[in-house]
Chains A and B, each alone.
Chain A
Amino acid sequence: MAVDIGVVQEALKGAAPILLATLGAVIGQRAGVLNLGLEGVVYLSAAVATAAGPPWGCLLAVAVGTLYNLLYYLLVNDLALNQILMGFAFTMMAYGVGSQIARPAVGKPIEKPLVQGVEIYLAAVLVAAALHLLLRTRLGVAIKASGDDPASLDLMGVDVYRIRKIAGALEGALASSAGAYLVLIYYGSWSDQLVMGWGTLAVVTAMISLWNPLLAAGASIIPSLFISLAYTLQRLTEASPHLLNTVPYLASIAVLVLAQLAVRKTRLRALAPRWLARPYIREERT
């Protein structure tokens, strides 16, 4: 039983960064942008936080991550470059640059932070509630409309490009705080493989949560639970740690499929942003 509680506590701690990045992905995908570069934002900000160290590393990581995400939005939104492939390229570039930035910190512990318990997850849930409220404001409605029907939003006189960039800034800030959290609070050290997959899992969790910030608070526990379970099983069983490391990704795909099949023939299907991964080009408005 003690083990079970430990797994749940670990899962809640690990769910905080996934929730933060998921909330970023919810905002971005709601605005119609499928950002696979989120993995890169998490990685790069984690590397910056490592290199600068606490407490300024956190602020610097958020600033760099937000700017990096905004650059992605400028390219895919204003210049209509392919969202999926640019996201992929941004991730690869962030891996290269990030691993170089944080190279001197490999193997060195990072100063212990003040907060490191499950209260972090509760704080992240509060952020989720705040975002849920944001999506009900005028700005939030505009963000949702830019992912559902940008042409109509444009006809109403709202600048779709600007709205998407605001969403991109919010997404970048949330994802990069997830990256800073991962190294400064969750792991307390850096290695090149540390962040591998956390940002991508958040992209999946946003879909599983049907793009709802409050549901995201629950959905973010799923990958985190499997990550914690993999660590626990590594300690308790003879199973290969390499194979156990695949479990969170495979479980996330399985849950995504189940969620998609469950909502397929219901009205919930309409929640999916209709313009997800499609660029909006004003001159092609019909």
Chain B
Amino acid sequence: MRLIQRPTPSPLHYLYAALGSLATVTAIVLLFTGDVERAAAAFTSVDINYLARVFLVVAVISLSGVLSYRSGIWNIGQEGQAVVGALAAVASRNALEAVALAALFSTLWILAPAVLRATAEVNEAVTTFLLSLVAIYTARYFIDGPLRDPAKKGFVVTVEAPYLDLLAAAVMYALLLAGIVALYKTRAGLTLRLLASGEEVVRYAGKSPRVYIAATLLLSGAVAGVGGAVEIMTREAGRYMTLQQVSTGFGLFGVSAAWLGGLHPLGAAAASLYIAWLYQVATNLKVMGLPALVANALVGSAMAWGLAGYVMYKYRVVWR
């Protein structure tokens, strides 16, 4: 099995990747249900509000991935940054303050990896990933301590986060999306994308790669934090964190959507909708009494197909 570079890459290969993902998902669902009728029920039963909520969360976090990976910077700590964003939301009095604090604290959370990568070339994939684990324990400290709700005697849960309705969340996402699309039209946005071709290229363009590396990570962290806040604030009920349910897995979903969408802000939006639907399918399967691991398996396979789409776009696979 070898890869040959395509002389004329076509974006159609991302569509093939999406179809491949769909085929894999169908196979997994059939394997778990063992019957076509139940599989069809898992695929077709959709709660629009639930789908919209998951879509918005995944779509916001996917923008964090787009920002980072299009610049060739490997922030894979979106899960931890989202946890920090959700914590900030829980500690806030109203929705506006929650979003602002989520962005601020998740930026501060990623500050150390950003500075270390920019100044000492410390691998940001390793530091952001390790900090995700730190975020989970830190969140547990706040759940069990400063943010614990004293009214819920006998239960270790935080106070409730302010409510954000889906329309407001959609407007916020649209603004973020428009902001990032607009950013890529500016010279700064172009330099951010140039970074993926190498630090030398940015230096030749007369800019400081260090500044752009740090800016990429900080922006990416801020957006992931907002995603975490949106996740907890758009819940109809139970807008609190518990010791067992700190990490929601939406960090992985956002990263998967970014790749499945070809690292394009609009492509990531389409991929987020697909991943939200996968999440709905996984939830339907859980309701049918099937294992909880299905969501991870479905989204993990979507991520693999997203990466495969990127490779298929650039290369042809030959057997030799």
Chain A complexes with chain B: yes
Chain A: residues with CB nearer than 8 A to chain B? 34, 36, 75, 78-82, 84-86, 88-90, 92-93, 95-97, 99-100, 196-197, 200-201, 203-204, 207, 240, 242-243, 245-246, 249-250, 252-253, 256-257, 260-261, 264, 277, 281-284
B74 proximity list for chain A (CB < 8 A): 84
Query: How many A-B contacts at CB < 8 Å in the complex?
Result: 129
Q: Is B293 in contact with A97, judged by CB distance below 8 angstroms?
A: yes
If over half of B's interface residues share one DSSP class (helix, strand or loop), that class is named, otherwise mixed; here it is helix
Q: How far is the CA of A246 from the CA of B41 in the complex (A)?
A: 43
Binary flags per residue of B158-179, CB closer than 8 Å to A gives 1, else 0: 0000000000000000000000
Q: How far is the CA of A34 from the CA of B124 in the complex (A)?
A: 12
Q: Is B3 in contact with A79, judged by CB distance below 8 angstroms?
A: yes
Q: Is B122 in contact with A240, judged by CB distance below 8 angstroms?
A: no
Q: Is A36 in contact with B76, judged by CB distance below 8 angstroms?
A: yes
Q: Is B149 an interface residue (CB 8 A)?
A: no
Q: Is B291 an interface residue (CB 8 A)?
A: yes
Given contacts A100-B293, A256-B122, A283-B4, are A200 and B249 in contact (CB under 8 A)? no
Q: Is B76 in contact with A240, judged by CB distance below 8 angstroms?
A: no
Q: Is A196 in contact with B308, judged by CB distance below 8 angstroms?
A: no
A81 proximity list for chain B (CB < 8 A): 304, 307-308, 311
Which of B1, B129, B130, B307 is close to A82, meaning CB atoms less than 8 Å apart?
B307
The residue in chain A whose Cβ has the minimal distance to the Cβ of B253 is A92
Q: Is A264 in contact with B3, judged by CB distance below 8 angstroms?
A: no
Query: Can you identify 20 A-B contacts, CB atoms within 8 angstroms?
Result: A34-B125, A78-B2, A79-B311, A84-B125, A88-B252, A89-B300, A92-B300, A93-B297, A95-B296, A96-B294, A96-B297, A97-B293, A203-B126, A207-B126, A242-B138, A242-B140, A246-B137, A256-B126, A257-B120, A282-B3
Q: How far is the CA of A197 from the CA of B136 in the complex (A)?
A: 11
A90 proximity list for chain B (CB < 8 A): 300
Q: Is A243 in contact with B249, judged by CB distance below 8 angstroms?
A: no
Q: Is A249 in contact with B133, judged by CB distance below 8 angstroms?
A: yes
Binary flags per residue of B258-302, CB closer than 8 Å to A gives 1, else 0: 010000000000000000000000000000000111111101100
Q: How far is the CA of A256 from the CA of B315 in the complex (A)?
A: 36
Which of A79, A250, A260 is close to B308, meaning CB atoms less than 8 Å apart?
A79
A200 proximity list for chain B (CB < 8 A): 126, 129-130, 133
Q: How far is the CA of A89 from the CA of B315 in the complex (A)?
A: 22
A84 proximity list for chain B (CB < 8 A): 74, 76, 125
B311 proximity list for chain A (CB < 8 A): 79-81
Q: How far is the CA of A277 from the CA of B120 in the complex (A)?
A: 18
Q: Is A253 in contact with B303, judged by CB distance below 8 angstroms?
A: no
Q: How far is the CA of A240 from the CA of B307 in the complex (A)?
A: 40
The residue in chain B whose Cβ has the minimal distance to the Cβ of A83 is B125
The residue in chain B whose Cβ has the minimal distance to the Cβ of A98 is B293
A34 proximity list for chain B (CB < 8 A): 123, 125
Name, among A88, A240, A283, the residue most crowded by chain B CB atoms within 10 Å (CB to CB).
A88
Q: How far is the CA of A252 from the CA of B74 in the complex (A)?
A: 19
B123 proximity list for chain A (CB < 8 A): 34, 207
B297 proximity list for chain A (CB < 8 A): 93, 96-97
Q: How far is the CA of A283 from the CA of B315 in the complex (A)?
A: 10
Q: Is B190 an interface residue (CB 8 A)?
A: no
Q: Is B141 in contact with A283, judged by CB distance below 8 angstroms?
A: no
Q: Is B307 in contact with A243, judged by CB distance below 8 angstroms?
A: no
Q: How far is the CA of A86 from the CA of B301 in the complex (A)?
A: 10
Quote the shortest CB–CB distance from B16 to chain A (angstroms).
14
Given contacts A84-B125, A264-B121, 9 further A-B contacts (CB under 8 A): A36-B129, A84-B74, A96-B292, A96-B294, A96-B300, A253-B127, A256-B122, A260-B121, A283-B4
Q: Is B88 an interface residue (CB 8 A)?
A: no
A245 proximity list for chain B (CB < 8 A): 137
Q: How far is the CA of A95 from the CA of B132 in the complex (A)?
A: 15
Which of A86, A252, A281 is close to B3, meaning CB atoms less than 8 Å apart?
A281
Q: Is B27 an interface residue (CB 8 A)?
A: no
A204 proximity list for chain B (CB < 8 A): 126, 130
